[in-house]
Amino acid sequence: MKTFDVYPLLDVEPVKASGCWLWDKAGNKYLDLYGGHAVISIGHTHPHYVKTIEEQLHKIGFYSNSVKIPIQDELSKKLGELSGYPDYNLFLCNSGAEANENALKLASFHNGRKKIIAFSKAFHGRTSLAVAATDNKSIVAPVNETENIVFLPFNDESALENAMNDSVCAVIIEGMQGVGGVQVPADSFLKKIKELCDKYNAVFILDEVQSGYGRSGKFFAHQFSGVKPDVITTAKGMGNGFPIGGVLISPKFVQKHFMLGTTFGGNHLACAAAIAVLDVIKNENLMMNAKAIGEYMMSVLKKITGVKEVRGRGLMIGVELEFPYEAVRNALIFTHRIFTGTAGKNIIRLLPPLTLSKEEAEIFLHAFAAVMKKSLVK
């Protein structure tokens, strides 16, 4: 049997990692400004993380949700406190797609409706309803194009006003669009969604799968706007690479047995990993670091010739170039040995570990400036 070949892979094989660094088979060292799709929040192989998982593994690694698992309560309490949502409840699952799928189910149980409003260029993962929330047709299977989803222009308050009525089940939006090219929703737009959801008893779902977990400089990116959504979804940075997702649910939702379910969600090992992540984010002030280093990087990037626009918050940064990203990204990886992500045709997407130091940021900034200079000369 061979691996089903459905996504492009870089010709690099990491065999070791530490902090913001990776090493390949040949011993080459790479600076990781991508964190495996924004997953590495506290840095690779953080000692506290490794120790916590190891210790848990020696006690019990897994048992399904048919028994008491007190470590789930410990995780809920710590996440509630650090995120500023101590009164919300937590449903645990295994990925971002699953978190969004469960959020939509919950919304539909809540008001008995099925129409979902999402926004142009959004990405909410590859699942039935949630997967269709993108206008990138290459990743939407025909079966996922359901008539129950309406796509509206991003940040357009009047389009939203016109579309909202009492048949809408939920409005779903990312804290910052990731796959869509690091687009930040206006505070006033999030406030408008909240106002209209409250007016029509629709559920306001904030997808913080990519933009959450301290990456923006606040725990969740939407917290810059001051709105409180009904449901928040999270994954990626939550486990620093250990698969775990979560749905934070407002206390106004009724909890009934068999409403939602999972086999692996909230297992002992995943919870241990997620608790270690929260401990490190708190103890090492990583939200503050993300804010400071991110702001510094954005201020430098804006001044580089050939950069059209720099968007984002904290350590979620989109650098839109005046030309396609391929040559720049390849030179960064294969000449300077720096991993970055991309979006669209012209955007370099930076999603480094939140531990990124000023010195590490400088390594990237110098390399990027040199590569851009060379690309413009050609």
Catalog residues that contact ligand PLP under the rule CB under 6 A. 37, 95-97, 100, 123-125, 174, 178-179, 207, 209-210, 235
Please say which residue, 171 or 372, places its beta carbon nearer to ligand PLP. Answer: 171
Amino acid at 18: S
Beta bridge partners of 339: 32
Please say which residue, 179 or 193, places its beta carbon nearer to ligand PLP. Answer: 179
Please say which residue, 99 or 287, places its beta carbon nearer to ligand PLP. Answer: 99
CA distances from 324 to 149, 327, 343, 346, 377 (A): 31, 8, 10, 4, 15
The residue written with tokens 């913001």 in the block is 20
Please say which residue, 213 or 364, places its beta carbon nearer to ligand PLP. Answer: 213
For residue 149, give the nearest of 133, 136, 173 by alpha carbon.
133
The residue at minimum Cβ distance from ligand PLP is 96
Q: Half-sphere exposure of residue 146, counting CA atoms within 13 Å on the CB side?
A: 15
Q: What is the smallest separation between the CB atom of 157 and ligand PLP, expressed in angstroms?
A: 22
Are residues 290 and 45 in contact, defined by beta-carbon separation less than 8 angstroms?
Answer: no
Cα–Cα distance, 125 to 134 (Å, whole number): 9
Q: What is the smallest separation between the CB atom of 13 and ligand PLP, expressed in angstroms?
A: 22
Residue partners of 64: CB distance under 8 A and separation at least 6:
263, 264, 267
Please say which residue, 96 or 294, places its beta carbon nearer to ligand PLP. Answer: 96
For residue 360, give the nearest of 32, 17, 18, 72 by alpha carbon.
32
Q: What is the smallest separation between the CB atom of 231 and ligand PLP, expressed in angstroms?
A: 13
Q: What is the smallest separation between the CB atom of 170 and ligand PLP, expressed in angstroms?
A: 15
Q: What is the smallest separation between the CB atom of 235 and ligand PLP, expressed in angstroms?
A: 5
Please say which residue, 212 or 331, places its beta carbon nearer to ligand PLP. Answer: 212
Q: In the chain, what is the greatest distance between 2 CA atoms, to the nearest angstrom?
A: 64
For residue 267, give the nearest of 278, 255, 257, 275 by alpha carbon.
275
Q: What is the smallest separation between the CB atom of 41 and ligand PLP, expressed in angstroms?
A: 14
